[in-house]
Amino acid sequence: MSVFTEFSRIARSFAPQTAIVLGSGLGGVTAGFSEVATVSFADVPGLVQTTVQGHHGRIAVGHWHGTPTLLFLGRLHFYEGHSQDAVTAPIRRAADLGVKRLILTNAAGGIHPSLNPGSLMAICGHIKLIGPNAWRTLAVGTAVKMPYSSRLLERMCLLAGVYAALTGPCYETPAEIRAYAASGVDAVGMSTALEAEAAAELGMEVAAISCITNKAAGLSAAPLDHTEVLVNAKLAVDQLAALLGELIK
């Protein structure tokens, strides 16, 4: 019996209705999670191991304060060289295991004046700028219904804003950030949009939360780097953990 077959057997016996995807540096929110079984991305058919610091690349099943939950400790990113299908493969695996609700988290740069390091933003919409033809697709493409659940947005009681999902892995220039701000973007990152759309297509209820780890380029005097992201992600751990606990009840 393969590692994943055994994990799937245990996961199905738990019948988790909710899956949570943890973004960069957010593994510390799991104090309320009691793990029963885990599997590496590399042992899951159709998945590959993540290469990004701060992403463990594991799927776990257990109880989050007593509620059966599927937990993704890390995610795959388009900028790692994966296809969009590969990036969304974990979401399809969650659906295969019977998950009905997906809660996505990410580390993001704050553009809205109210979003400082350590604050949280509920994503109510996104602009997807992933891939070499991102701006062209945005200009000529058809409208896409936003996947985020209004019911879950109301339950979060956070500032709700628009997230721009960019190709990465480099950070944006100050001029780009000014352009995104003029387009109505409140926070910027390199994930989440593909996963949210895939989950909605599979019939899941979707919520997404950005943990603001830095001011976006040009909005502070400090240079941007991934170490800052990982350090500042810890500022919101307690608030995010409490929020996730409420959402999965």
Instruction: Kindly list the catalytic residues.
Output: 24, 55, 77, 79-80, 107, 190-191, 214, 226
Q: List, in order, residues 6 or more apart from 83 with CB less than 8 Å away.
A: none
CA distance 198 to 215: 29
Query: Residue 194 burial (CB < 10 Å; 0-12/13-18/19+)?
Result: buried
Residue 11 vs residues 48, 126, 187: alpha-carbon distances, Å: 20, 31, 34
CA distance 30 to 44: 22
Question: Tokens for 14?
Answer: 């738990």
Residue 211, SS3?
strand
Q: List, in order, residues 6 or more apart from 240 with CB less than 8 Å away.
A: 26, 29, 105, 120, 209, 211
Query: Residue 151 burial (CB < 10 Å; 0-12/13-18/19+)?
Result: exposed
Question: Tokens for 5?
Answer: 């077959």
CA distance 96 to 90: 10
Q: Does residue 187 contact residue 212 with C-beta atoms inside 8 Å?
A: yes
